[in-house]
Structure 1
Amino acid sequence: MSDVSKPAGFYALKSLTPGAAQLHRLSALLTLVLLILGFALASPAFLSVNNSLTVLLQTSVIGLLGIGMTMVIITGGIDLSVGSVLALSGVITGMSVKAGLPVIPAMTLGVIAGGLCGAFNGFVITKLRIPPFVATLGMMLIARGIALQLTGAAPISQLGEAFGTLGNGALFRVVEMRDNGFPRVVFPGIPYPAILLLIVAIGAAYLLRRRQIGRHIYATGSNEEAARLSGVRVDTTKLYAYVMSGALAGLAGNVLMSRLVTAQPSEGVMYELDAIAAAVIGGASLSGGVGGVSGTMIGAFIIGILRNGLNMAGVSAFIQQIVIGFVVIGAVWIDQIRNRP
Structure 2
Amino acid sequence: MSNATKTGGGFALSAIAPANASLHRLSALLTLFLLVLGFAATSPAFFTVNNGLTILLQTSVVGLLGIGMTMVIVTGGIDLSVGSVLALSGVVSAMAVKAGLPVLPAMSMGILAGAICGAFNGLVITKLRIPPFVATLGMMLIARGIALQLTGAIPISGLGDAFGALGNGALFRMVELRPNGFPNVVFPGVPYPAILLLVVALAAAYLLKKRQIGRHIFATGSNEEAARLSGVRVDRTKLYAYVMSGALAGLAGNVLMSRLVTAQPSEGVMYELDAIAAAVIGGASLSGGVGTISGTMIGAFIIGILRNGLNMAGVSAFIQQIVIGFVVIGAVWIDQIRNRP
Determine if the TM-score, normalized by the shorter chain, exceeds 0.5. Answer: yes
Matched to 1:175, the amino acid is: V
Residues in 2 aligned to 1:33 and 1:14: alpha-carbon distance in whole angstroms: 29
Helix, strand or coil at the partner of 2:184: strand
Q: Indicate the residue corresponding to 2:171 in structure 1.
A: 171
Q: Provide the identity percentage.
A: 85
Instruction: Deviation per CA, 1:253-296: give whole Å up to 9, x if none.
Output: 00000000001100000000000000000000000000010000
Q: Are 1:131 and 2:131 an aligned pair?
A: yes
Q: TM-score, normalised by structure 1?
A: 0.96
Residues in 2 aligned to 1:97 and 1:308: alpha-carbon distance in whole angstroms: 32
CA contact (8 A) 1:11 1:227 kept: no
Instruction: Deviation per CA, 1:178-219: give whole Å up to 9, x if none.
Output: 011000111110000000000000000000000000000000
CA contact (8 A) 1:11 1:223 kept: no
Instruction: Deviation per CA, 1:223-252: give whole Å up to 9, x if none.
Output: 000000000000000000000000000000
Q: Indicate the residue corresponding to 1:98 in structure 2.
A: 98
Helix, strand or coil at the partner of 1:28: helix
Moved more, 251-260 or 14-23: 14-23
Q: Indicate the residue corresponding to 2:41 in structure 1.
A: 41
Q: Indicate the residue corresponding to 1:296 in structure 2.
A: 296
Helix, strand or coil at the partner of 2:79: coil
Q: Are 1:230 and 2:230 an aligned pair?
A: yes
Helix, strand or coil at the partner of 2:45: helix
Q: 1:12 to 1:276 in 2, by over 3 A?
A: farther
* 1:232-311 matched pairs, under 5 angstroms: 232-311=232-311
Instruction: Deviation per CA, 1:283-329: give whole Å up to 9, x if none.
Output: 00000000010000000000000000000000011111111111111
Q: Indicate the residue corresponding to 2:327 in structure 1.
A: 327
Superposition deviation, residue 12 in structure 1: 11
Superposition deviation, residue 16 in structure 1: 5.8
Q: Indicate the residue corresponding to 1:23 in structure 2.
A: 23
Q: Indicate the residue corresponding to 1:314 in structure 2.
A: 314
Residues in 1 aligned to 2:179 and 2:208: alpha-carbon distance in whole angstroms: 53
Q: 1:234 to 1:141 in 2, by over 3 A?
A: same
CA contact (8 A) 2:68 2:245 kept: yes
Q: Indicate the residue corresponding to 2:77 in structure 1.
A: 77
Helix, strand or coil at the partner of 2:113: helix
Q: Indicate the residue corresponding to 1:3 in structure 2.
A: none
* 1:208-227 matched pairs, under 5 angstroms: 208-227=208-227
Q: Indicate the residue corresponding to 2:118 in structure 1.
A: 118
Moved more, 235-244 or 326-335: 326-335
CA RMSD of aligned residues (A): 1.1
CA contact (8 A) 2:273 2:328 kept: no
Matched to 1:51, the amino acid is: N
CA contact (8 A) 1:74 1:289 kept: yes
Question: In the comparison of the two structures, how many residue pairs are matched?
Answer: 332
> Unaligned regions of 5+ residues in structure 2, if any?
1-9
